[in-house]
Structure 1
Amino acid sequence: MITHPQAAPAVPDPDEERRRVQTARLLAYRDDGPLVAVLRGRMGPGLPPVPAALAALLAVVAVGVTGVLGDGSGPAALLPVLAMVVLVVPTAPRDHLGRFDWLVPPLIRGTEFLTIILLGLAADTPKWLLFVLIYVIGYHTYDTVYRTRQSIWPAPWVFQAGLGWEVRLLLLGAGAALGVLDWVVAVMCVYLGVLFAVESVTSWVRLDKQASPAQASDDLEASPEEAMEQATGEADKA
């Protein structure tokens, strides 16, 4: 009987694995949505992430300083949104492995929040409503960062259902241009708040239930002496 030697399973290169995880984390922290998902494979190599994100931030600041938004309605309301979308969306195809590419997610989030504030203040949107929207998006960002640091990755559909920074800003810009920004912000607060809260809670509860049997199995495998020692230690602490 002739047997063929079986190839040993390939061991992933540690450096390649580190780069893969770093890219995945930074792309998750960007919080790109459905528009980026559609265009990512059609934009070639893309723009350098850090210079483009910095340019978008400066463009939004310039719009706010010059006062071109006026009362926050009309086509001018789309200026900061389009500046960010045009400059930052083409950076999505990059691998984000540059020395300073870790700056891209905070630059995107900061520019998104600044755009929301500028549009809201120009349109005289209630400040508490703007705060709620920023809080909801900030919670989603915190939850994503905390999960990935625990090697727990949010499902890809969460980012699509959450609309991503680019679709959120396009909807807000359109709402401001049409004079209905208050309603758009209110609906977005409710929708995103329910989506992110329910998905986050159910995911953590599911993870806790999956971890409980493993913990119980570890406890059963412990020797009687170890179990007694652990119980004695816990009693002494109490």
Structure 2
Amino acid sequence: MITQPQAPAPLLDPDEERRRVQTARLLAYRDDGPLVAVLRDRIGRGVPPVPAALLALVAVVAVGLGGVLDPGRGAIMLVPVLAMVVLVVPTAPRDHLGRFDWLVPPLIRGTEFLTIILLGLAAGTPKWLLFVLIYVVGYHTYDTVYRTRQSIWPAPWVFRAGLGWEVRLLLLGAGAALGLLTWVTAALSLYLGVLFAVESVTSWVRLDKETALAQASDDLEASPEEALEQTTGEADKA
């Protein structure tokens, strides 16, 4: 049987590959959700992410210090949420390769957590429940960072199912405006906790099984002397 010679695989430019991985990591750390996924291609080039994220943080801090949320319910509760969404969503199309663009994910996460706290305190939501929600989102962030540093990328559906920072905040803002923030926070914490925990555990278990199977396959192909050396560190010198 005659086969055509296979063309050699094109060599990747190391700098281009580094930029691609850096962009992918920072976009994963942002934890954008379905709303950003829909709008990203419709925004054009987007706006510089660092100034916009900083401005969003300043706006939320100003809302908190100004006592704007004191009524505890009503449309005014949507102000910090809308400020963050309007300012940060347009940054999504950017490649995040600027010198300080690594600041964007922590700025987004910090502003998200601050908004949750301000809404919860103004609406009288139990503090322990706010802590649970922040812990669940923080765990998801940690899991994402740890995986990508091991070159293991979470499936895209995880970010969509996790709603992203923008949909989570919109739900909380709507709940606060309607006087239902405690119930929305509890439901969101339960849903996200189960989702992130189950997906994380199953992914790591599956990875461990694949690693064990690959190791077993390598051991079957090794000679007895090589297998003994891998197990004990000493080859049989008989």
Normalized against structure 1, the TM-score is what?
0.93
Q: In percent, how many aligned pairs have the same letter?
A: 84
Superposition deviation, residue 56 in structure 1? 0.1
Instruction: Give per-residue Cα distances to partners, 1:140-176, cap 9 Å, x unaligned.
Output: 0000001111111100010001000000000000000
Provide the aligned length of Structure 1 versus Structure 2: 232
Match of 1:49 in 2: 49
Instruction: Give per-residue Cα distances to partners, 1:42-73, cap 9 Å, x unaligned.
Output: 00110100000000000000000010101321
Closer, same or farther: CA 44–119 of 1 in aligned 2, 3 Å: same
Match of 2:87 in 1: 87
Match of 2:164 in 1: 164
Equivalent runs, 1:74-223 vs 2, <5 Å: 74-223=74-223
Superposition deviation, residue 8 in structure 1? 3.4
Closer, same or farther: CA 232–37 of 1 in aligned 2, 3 Å: closer
SS at match of 1:19: helix
SS at match of 1:10: coil
Match of 2:13 in 1: 13
- CA separation in 2, counterparts of 1:231 and 1:97? 44
Instruction: Give per-residue Cα distances to partners, 1:97-130, cap 9 Å, x unaligned.
Output: 0000000000000000000000000111000000
Segments of 5+ residues of structure 2 without an aligned counterpart are: none
- CA separation in 2, counterparts of 1:228 and 1:102? 46
SS at match of 2:151: coil
Segments of 5+ residues of structure 1 without an aligned counterpart are: none
- CA separation in 1, counterparts of 2:136 and 2:101? 25
Instruction: Give per-residue Cα distances to partners, 1:167-199, cap 9 Å, x unaligned.
Output: 000000000000000000000011000000111
